[in-house]
Every structure is written in structure tokens, then in C-alpha cells.
Amino acid sequence: MNCIITGASKGLGKAMAERFAAGGYHLYLCSRDAKTLATTTEELATRYPTVTIHSRPADMGEKEQVTAFAQWVSASGATVDVLVNNAGQFIPGSVHNEPEGVLEKLIAVNLYSAYHLTRHLLPAMIARRSGHIFNICSVASLQAYPNGGAYSISKYALAGFSANLREEMKPHGIKVTAVYPGAAYTDSWSGTGVDPQRIMTAADVAEMVFTASRLSPQATVEEILLRPQLGDL
């Protein structure tokens, strides 16, 4: 079994890579940070020697690099059993005053990366009539909030992509799950003063994604919504 994860060098992506490796999946990972990706790959290979960890640096906000990553996965001959479109970027701001170009940048990273990678890998999945696609959205996909700006817009768009793709893939036996995580403690929260006990762990999200991937072919989890026990920050 194989799992492809984008944005996998740290945070939620790394947590999901760890969980799927522990579950016996061979991994195909990418991240725009080549150094951190190499470190993560080495860590996982050491911890899970019975599975193979493949990785390739890629900036998923650049269509050419998305294509190159997709071709690299396809050339390996690996079946796409699980695809996790996790690559994403957050830039705070408001529509009326965020810098010019922020929307285009976040749409490219948070939406187009998933769209183009999925399109490249789908033909083989359709031919096999199997596979599970997880799109890592956000609670920002469901509820507008101050300073959300272009980020929230891009995540709403990813949720829409997920809903449309799910309907299209039903006749082909391919599952599509939209994941809406609230605040989970990752490197981006370090130094903010937020108590790690106040919010979720990245492993919480990873466990839910892994569990949803293990259902029988006739069952699917269409959406996963996770929030801290005490609610959003």
C-alpha cells in the first residue's frame, strides 16, 4: 500500500506520514523545504525500517513542480492507494488591505496544488477503481473570521473542490474526504504563547485521517471536522 502526502516535512503532513508509515504504508512525500524534508525522510526511514520512504522537494505553488512531482510518483509504478493533499500556506490579512498578490499566491498553494496533482494521478486510480483522496481544508473553510482574508477564501475553494470531486468519483470507486482541522499544535504555534494543552495535537488529525482510510470499500467518511475540546481560539 502506498500513501502520497504533500507538504510532509513538518506539522500535520509529518504527523500523517508517521501514522501511515506505522500502518505499513510506503510513502511518497514532498515539501518545498528540501533540508527539512531530507531530515524527516531520514527520521521516518529509521523509525519504520519495514516500509520505504521516498521524497522529492517540490514547491506545490508552482504548476511545473506539481507536474514533475506527479510524474515522479507515476514513474515509480506505485499505486495511489491514499493521496493526501496537505500542502498549504497561511498569510494573515483582510481583503481590503492585504498585499497585492496574496490571493493569487494562496490560491496557487492551497487550491491549485491539490487540483493539478489530483488530475495527474486520477487516470490510474480510475482505471484501478480504487483509492482515497484526502484534502486538508480548515475550519476556515466553514466559517469566516477576522484576519482570514485570502487564506479563508482559498480554503473555502478547496472545500468546494472536494465536494465536486467526491460526486465525480463516486461511480469510479474512489473516495474523497474533506478534512477540517481546527487549531493543532505545530511549529507555527511555537513562540506564540498558546498553551499546547489548549489545542489539539497534530497526531489527533493524523489518527482520524488514517482511521477514515481503513474503512471497507462500501463506506466513506465524506468530512472530518476536528476542534479543540474547548473550542476554536
Active site residue ranges: 151
- Residue 29 phi, psi (nearest 5): -120, 155
What single DSSP character describes residue 82?
Answer: E
Between the CA of residue 96 and those of 103, 111, 125, 139, 167, what are the distances in Å?
12, 22, 42, 22, 35
| Domain covering 2-226 in this structure, CATH number | 3.40.50.720
Burial class (CB in 10 A: 0-12, 13-18, 19+), 75: exposed
| pLDDT tens-place string over residues 196-220 | 888 899 999 999 999 999 999 999 9
| pLDDT tens-place string over residues 106-137 | 999 999 999 999 999 999 999 999 999 999 99
The CA distance from 158 to 85, in Å, is: 10
SS3 194: coil
The C-alpha cell that represents 59 in the structure block? 514547491
Handedness of CA 8, 106, 167, 116 (dihedral sign): negative
- Residue 148 phi, psi (nearest 5): -80, -45
Model pLDDT, residue 225: 97
Q: Select from 180, 173, 74, 56 the least CA-distant residue to 119.
A: 74
Give the residue extent of every domain in the chain.
Answer: 2-226
Q: What percent of the chain stands above pLDDT 70? A: 100
